[in-house]
Amino acid sequence: MGNSARSNYRETASLHITVGNLSPRLLTNVVVQWAVVKKAVARDSRAKPVVYGARETITLKPIDEKSIETPLIEVEGRSDQNVGRSSGEVFRGHAVQVLIGTNVVAEELLPTTLKVSFKNLQPVPKPPPSE
């Protein structure tokens, strides 16, 4: 048996969401909800993903747009040349929904097979203080 090369990895993700109003009327109580999904790398495939995210309510003037920049979310772990990521966490995808009232008026899921419940979003962990 040969030696296998191992290395540590660290990745971050953040979403830049732009919501626009192309109509000539004011839109109030527009809800933007977003989620980033990460999962522990484990031999046990029953490990549940963790869904970090938030909701924000905005008002859009006629022919207006607003941008939302989400906080950075980090994954890290260890990678093995022969098996890929062998421990730690990986990103599974993200989801964004825009609602007016209870109607979903726009949605993005990447990958498209991603299933996200926006009911129990975890707050994004605060980064450790820099030294």
- Residue 80 backbone phi and psi in degrees, to 5: -120, 130
pLDDT at 88: 83
List the alpha helices (DSSP H) in 42-115.
none
For the chain, which domains are there? 6-109 (2.60.40)
Higher-confidence position of 2 and 32: 32
Q: What is the pTM of this model?
A: 0.82
77-89, pLDDT tens digit by residue? 887 766 666 778 8
Question: Do residues 48 and 38 touch, judged by C-beta distance below 8 A?
Answer: no
